[in-house]
Amino acid sequence: MTDSLKNLKLVNKNAFQHDLIEWFSNEQRDLPWRKDKNPYKVWVSEIMLQQTRVDTVIPYFNRFIEQFPTINDLADAEEEKILKAWEGLGYYSRVRNLQSAVKEVKEKYGGKVPDTKEEISTLKGVGPYTAGAILSIAYGVPEPAVDGNVMRVISRILSIWEDIAKPSTRKTFETAIYELISHENPSYFNQALMELGALICTPTSPSCLLCPVREHCHAFHEGVENELPVKTKAKKQRQVQLAAVVIRESEKTVIHKRASSGLLANMWEFPTVEVTSPFMFDKSYVEALMMEELGIEVKLGQAVGKIEHVFSHLKWDIQVFDGVLKAPIKEDENLKMVSPEEIVEYPFPVPHQKIMKQFYNEE
């Protein structure tokens, strides 16, 4: 693994830093989280940007900061509100961890985001990348912030052939960045690597002729920029068959809150059960499951449609039924009857938003 950094000492460090930072100074995108270096805003942006595209994040970031302008505002918010603000972004534990961490900053650090690697890394949801990003961008600390962009860019610059899909590989790149990072401007150095990965040094067909650090790039000189980075393939999603019911009772419908851990934790949904093998979508079977698992006595009507939704690791195939209650539900924290006006206040995952749109709200 040390051998994969054999080109590290061959890089003209000062020239590389200069070319990279100069390019970023001139070409960086105008993004809302780049307006100031407020550690809280930097933090929020970095959590949102995890595995999520810039264009997707922008409107969420603006709304989130407007709704929760400070650490105190977020710390004091109801979980339902923060999940609603995150609705549609995915990876919902990110925002629950963020609020948990923000509460800790409020209580243990007097509301000031920690500025050391050791302290900030103890916060929920702040891993090696996010710690380095906040420290370098908000506080000017020369720590690496190794994300997918950085691994791709540096794998090409240094011609590193380690598999970037393996968790242990990140350390190789951190070692490289510790050596290469500008101590005069660690913020721009880290952001420039990511910006370069996003705009120039893209996964397929990188624009090497436009690259400000082309002359420092070993992969370009060896003509192997399209072979790097090495990344093993992800395995296919597992299929899950679900039955959901849209219950109509005098202009209202029944919604259910999911478990507090696991997939889509604490999000709301139309009553849903997983069905397996032979009896797949048999109505009386689904009715029995609804009673056993959710305590809902429902009479299923027509199968009104089908929703398909692909997650990173599984695929939902939802058969949607119409239905009416055979007996009133016992409303509690996790089971409610709501009107069309009320339902919009609850956070729903996208597949159930699709159900709402197609089979409940829409005419």
Q: Active-site residue numbers? A: 46
If one asks whether residue 160 binds DNA (CB under 7 A), the answer comes out as no
Least gap, CB of 29 to DNA (angstroms):
7
If one asks whether residue 18 binds DNA (CB under 7 A), the answer comes out as no
CA distance 150 to 198: 10
3-state SS string for 79-138? HHHHHHHHCCCCCCHHHHHHHHHHHHHHHHCCCCCCCCHHHHCCCCCCCHHHHHHHHHHH
If one asks whether residue 51 binds DNA (CB under 7 A), the answer comes out as yes
In contact, 166 and 148? CB cutoff 8 Å: no
CA distance 159 to 57: 31
Over the window 252 to 291, marking each residue x when it contacts DNA by CB under 7 A and - when it does not, the resulting string is ----------xxxx--------------------------
If one asks whether residue 234 binds DNA (CB under 7 A), the answer comes out as yes
Least gap, CB of 144 to DNA (angstroms):
11
Q: Which of residues 288-317 bind DNA (CB under 7 A)?
A: 309-314
If one asks whether residue 213 binds DNA (CB under 7 A), the answer comes out as no
Mark the segment that binds DNA (CB under 7 A) among 119-127, 180-188, 285-293, 335-343. Answer: 119-127
Identify which of residues 148 and 295 has a Cβ nearer to DNA in the complex. 148
CA distance 231 to 2: 19
Which member of 2, 53, 284, 362 binds DNA (CB under 7 A)? Answer: 53
Q: What's the CA dihedral at 291, 293, 294, 300 to 10 degrees?
A: -40
In contact, 33 and 45? CB cutoff 8 Å: yes
Which member of 162, 349, 355, 356 binds DNA (CB under 7 A)? Answer: 349
Which member of 31, 77, 335, 337 binds DNA (CB under 7 A)? Answer: 31
Which member of 41, 84, 152, 218 binds DNA (CB under 7 A)? Answer: 152
Checking DSSP bridges between strand 238-247 and strand 314-325, what pairing results, if any?
A: parallel
CA distance 114 to 134: 10
Which member of 64, 92, 173, 346 binds DNA (CB under 7 A)? Answer: 92
**E strands present in 135-188:** none
CA distance 102 to 124: 9
239 forms beta bridges with 315
CA distance 122 to 87: 26
Over the window 173 to 212, marking each residue x when it contacts DNA by CB under 7 A and - when it does not, the resulting string is ------------------x--xx-xx---xxx--------
Q: Which residues bind DNA (CB under 7 A)?
A: 31, 45-46, 49-56, 88-93, 97, 124-131, 133, 147-149, 152, 166-168, 191, 194-195, 197-198, 202-204, 231, 233-236, 238, 262-265, 309-314, 349-351
